[in-house]
Structure 1
């Protein structure tokens, strides 16, 4: 019974790590999409105003704000890459822990079956 609980706990941890990796990857994809949308908005604003020089006094404020937001999202994407790498390492460790717990449980079940066969036979 104790090994079954160990296996359940390892499976729970494994599923949690998988969920974390998926969630981080979804966030990163969403941030990338948002960066692309902001790039399009910036280009549109620059085209409307005819000014692409960010240091020009008449550069559109919306484009300036969108650039800042896009840059911040880009930094967040870079941070997420680091987090994803760490989460993938943790996932690999959880997979190894789960496999080990399953092997222990199988070994114990085989022992119990062997002892049962000896007692019956």
Structure 2
């Protein structure tokens, strides 16, 4: 019985670790997307300063700035998509943690029950020793 509960606890811990890795990986991706979008914003501002044209509708607007704007928007959309995936992953992590706690509590109760049974057996042995000593007197 112990090996089964220990195996189940190991499995649940592995699942929790895997969910944590997924959450961390998604958080890192979101941060990277946002960082790259910020860098593109800076490059766009530099281009605006260089050309003196910041109106996207202007006929002489920089093609580099247009491309950077499109890329930045795509990165921000990707970051938003990843944020929704992050929420799902965080929910999965919370669920995996709850499952782990339940299994650990059940295991702890089982250990307590075994300890109580062992105490009862020991007490019965002490009682028997006491009865034998008393009957000899």
Q: TM-score, normalised by structure 2?
A: 0.82
In 2: Cα distance, 1:80 partner to 1:74 partner: 10
| Counterparts of 2:121 and 2:4, CA distance in 1 | 22
Aligned-partner Cα distance in 2 for 1:78–1:48: 31
Residue 102 (1) aligns with residue 111 (2): no
Higher relative contact order (CA 8 A, sep 6+): 1
| 5+ residue gaps, structure 1 | none
The one of 29, 32, 38 equivalent to 2:31 is 29
How far apart are the structure 1 equivalents of 2:80 and 2:7? 38
Tell me the SS of whatever aligns to 1:117: helix
Across the aligned residues of Structure 1 and Structure 2, the Cα RMSD in angstroms comes to 1.3
Give 1:114 deviation, angstroms: 2.8
- The whole-number CA distance in structure 1 between the counterparts of 2:118 and 2:18 is 36
Pick the structure with greater CA Rg. 2
Output the CA distance in 1 between the equivalents of 2:7 and 2:117: 22
The farther-off stretch of 52-61 and 41-50 is 52-61
Cα displacement (A) at 1:112: 2.4
Deviation at 1:52, TM superposition (A): 1.1
- Name the residue aligned to 2:129: none
Q: TM-score, normalised by structure 1?
A: 0.91
Structure 2 counterpart SS, 1:56 = coil
Shift of 1:120: 4.3
What is the CA distance between 1:97 and its match in structure 2? 0.3
Question: Paired residues, what number?
Answer: 121
Give unmatched runs, 5+ long, in structure 2.
124-137
